[in-house]
Every structure is written in structure tokens, then in C-alpha cells.
Amino acid sequence: MEQKISNYEKWCEEWSRRFLTLDQAQLQKTLPELKEEGNYLTLFHFKKKYGIHRQTGKIILMTQPGHAACTETPAQQPVSTNIRLNIYTLLWYAKPTARYQNHWVTFADLKDARPFAPAFQKGVLQTFASTFTGHLDKLAAACTALGGQKLPHSDAGYQINAFGCIPVRFLFWEGDDEFPAQANMLFDVSATDYIHVESVVTIASAGLEALAEAAGLPICAGGFQTQ
């Protein structure tokens, strides 16, 4: 496990160096959600504000949800490697031609996603369903806390921004005596124009973790591990 964590950190170090090779002015054109604030480019990932240092490429958590100010404190809360990799790969892979299309599909129907679909079903969707079984009200409250927009689909359906350019639709159906709870996530077909398809998996996992945290619930076994 220590070696695995070390490898994740090595990837983040490599990505921070890649970030420094990017044209930051072009990045802001490609991703208008990126804001220039002092030494940082900032953006929101599931309603938490992160900053990418413009000279070092390091990523920090800038504020807690609900805080408007962009503040850096001496003892920053660590940012998980999954969150950092999500941000780095967004910045690296986003195409200048990428545009939201309002065409919603399952993960399996995203470009090049089919090989990862079974793992996504087991590791993300089944974990989503298991985690919130019997907790419909807590799920709804958590979605609202993350800025979710209520959808007229499923028992609890909400659209939440993973990033400003990558919204995700979280759908949940409560189980009963005959059928277990079911869950799904939908993505705009443009998602893979903004980020690598494998990163969509970690985006979904990060969303599930954010919802569980907001709901005050532990994630059931079977989800993707974060560092």
C-alpha cells in the first residue's frame, strides 16, 4: 500500500510539471471557469474551491464550501491524489473545441468507455446504491448541499457540477422487499472532450465520496479507494 501511495504521489508530481508547460492564457479561454486569483488559477470541483499555483503547479484547497474568499492558510488541508489527478487531467485534456451538448448518456456510452463499464458498474454504481439504501432523505439533502438541481427522474435525481464544464446526473431508486436499490449516473456526451475517459471514473467516485461526506454516511465496501 505504501508503494501504491508513493506511485500516486509520483503521478501528481509529474502532472504538476506538465501543468507548467501549458499556455495558461489559452487554458482560461478553453475553461472559462478557471479564475486568476493572485498566484493561483482557481476552480470548483464538487463545490470545493481548489487553487493551482501558477509557478509550481501544486494544488491546494482554497476554501471550504460556502466561503467566498480565496484564502491560503499555513496548514492547508491535504488534497487527495484522486482530486488532484482529476484537476490535472482536466487541464491537460480539455480541447479548445469542447462544448456542452445537452446530450446525456450512461458511462458505457461515452467515447472509449466500454472497456471500463463493468468496473464502473461494480465499483461506482453498486456502491452508490448500497451506500444510500434506506437514506433517501439524506441523499436528497446531500445533493442540495452540493448545489444539485432536482430532476424529474428516479426517487432522487439531481444534476451536480463536478466541474463547471462537466455536470453529472446522479439518479437513485430506493429498494423494496423484492428489489434492491438501484443507481445510475449520466454524463453529457461532451465529457470526454474535456477529460480522459478513465478520469470520468474517478470523477464519479469523487462525487460519490462528496455525497457520502455531506450525508454523514460511510461508503459501503466496493468503491474505488482514494488516497
pLDDT in tens, the chain (227 residues): 445 557 889 999 999 999 999 999 999 999 999 999 999 999 999 999 999 999 999 999 997 544 444 444 434 678 999 999 999 999 999 999 999 999 999 999 999 999 999 999 999 999 999 999 999 999 999 999 999 999 998 999 999 999 999 999 999 999 887 889 999 999 999 999 999 999 999 999 999 999 999 999 999 865 443 33
Q: How far apart are CA 137 and CA 150, in angstroms?
A: 13
Alpha-carbon distances, residue 148 vs 94, 142, 158, 162, 199 (angstroms): 24, 8, 5, 10, 21
Q: How far apart are CA 49 and CA 67, in angstroms?
A: 9
Q: Are 223 and 123 in contact (CB under 8 A)?
A: yes
Q: Are 157 and 170 in contact (CB under 8 A)?
A: yes
